[in-house]
Amino acid sequence: MPYKRITLTHFLLQEQRRLKSSGVFTSLMNDILTACKMVSHEVNRGALVGNHGVAGSENIQGEEQKKLDVLANDIFIHMNSQCGTYAAMASEELEEVQAVTGTHEGRYLLLFDPLDGSSNIDVNISVGSIFSILRVPEGVDPSSQDAFLQPGVKQVAAGYALYGSSTMLVLTTGNGVHGFTLDRDVGMFFLTHPHMTIPADTTEYAINGSRARHWEAPIKRYVDECNAGKEGPRGKDFNMRWVASMVAEVHRILVRGGVFMYPADAENMKKGGKLRLMYEANPMAFIVEQAGGLASTGRQRLMEVAPSALHQRVPVILGSRNEVERIVAYHAEHD
């Protein structure tokens, strides 16, 4: 009975009652989901309203911004500034932390990548938004970068919106992972994927294979062994996928298992890798661990990396537990 499903707002209120919390968190989550619905709407209207193409600017990372990168960032900043529950926000698209002046003292910090995988916009392939919520630490100016430099284990909540063949919002508050699908006619997210779990084993991996010549030995060994198939040391055939949208890759892994790798390699090593720790890797690591998977740099649990900069990059290996453990073991054997 579709009408018997619960909405994301119901879910948040049930969590609020269970945790006997004040409702502040529920209201800030409502702002995020409104922002995600608005971004979803803009992604869907696409070329009809001129939303494709480049904005003609670069972000702090020196990357060309797409029109939708800029629009999604503006939507996130505006919607999440309104109820005053955040003290400050940080975005992939903004160099500096943005303080929020609200009606009362904000106790939370919001980090986000407003439109991840934006190289896929113009070719109409899935993109997403990623967010991470931290508490304002005691005695630290919330609008300083220092307030944000907390390891992933300190996250209060994390999630992503996937703008795919349907729009979904996947969320963890540290009590499992739950997926909600947007009903466009009703304008609400409904719980469709309660308690998402990642199978421990998989025969599917995701990596940008065009970078193989730059890989370190443990990654090369892992991929070579997968590609050797039934005749190789793994004794089974593997499948490979690469969407170039981390949100879509993580979602596939949550639904049917798999392993995703964006390692540091000889070419990106100086920067520390490609993906950003604070608003890409950490929220995805929290979600993956809450779903029973693992997330590592290859040498350390991802969520224990002590950040030193807001836009810091990090190697990312996440997904099905037994595969991530194997890749971590290959790194240990090699080092």
Positions at the binding site = 92, 113, 115-119, 208, 274, 280
The alpha carbon of residue 10 and the mean position of all alpha carbons in its chain are separated, in whole angstroms, by 23
- 208 touches, from Mg ion, ligand AHM, none (C-beta below 5 to 8 Å by class): ligand AHM
Cβ 310 to ligand AHM, closest distance in Å?
A: 14
Cα 284 to Cα 107, 124, 252, 257: the distances in Å are 23, 23, 13, 14
Residue located via tokens 């729009």: 167
Cβ 280 to Mg ion, closest distance in Å?
A: 5
Rule CB under 6 A: say whether 93 interacts with ligand AHM. no
Rule CB under 6 A: say whether 15 interacts with ligand AHM. no
Q: Looking only at residues 275 through 334 of this chain, which bind ligand AHM when binding is defined by CB under 6 A?
A: none
Cβ 207 to ligand AHM, closest distance in Å?
A: 9
Burial of 50 (0-12, 13-18, 19+ CB in 10 A): exposed
Q: Looking only at residues 271 through 300 of this chain, which bind Mg ion when binding is defined by CB under 5 A?
A: none
Cβ 114 to Mg ion, closest distance in Å?
A: 9
* Helices 24-45 and 8-18: angle between axes, nearest 10 degrees: 160
Rule CB under 6 A: say whether 113 interacts with ligand AHM. yes
- 244 touches, from ligand AHM, Mg ion, none (C-beta below 5 to 8 Å by class): ligand AHM
Rule CB under 6 A: say whether 63 interacts with ligand AHM. yes
Q: d(Cα 188, Cα 16) in Å, to the nearest integer?
A: 19
Q: Looking only at residues 80 through 119 of this chain, which bind Mg ion when binding is defined by CB under 5 A?
A: 113, 116
> From the annotation, which residues make up the binding site for substrate?
116-119, 208, 274
Backbone angles phi, psi at 65, to 5 degrees: -90, 140
Helix, coil or strand: residue 118: helix
Nearest CA to 275 among 327, 311, 325? 311
* List of residues contacting ligand AHM (CB under 6 A): 63, 92, 113, 116-119, 208, 244-246, 262
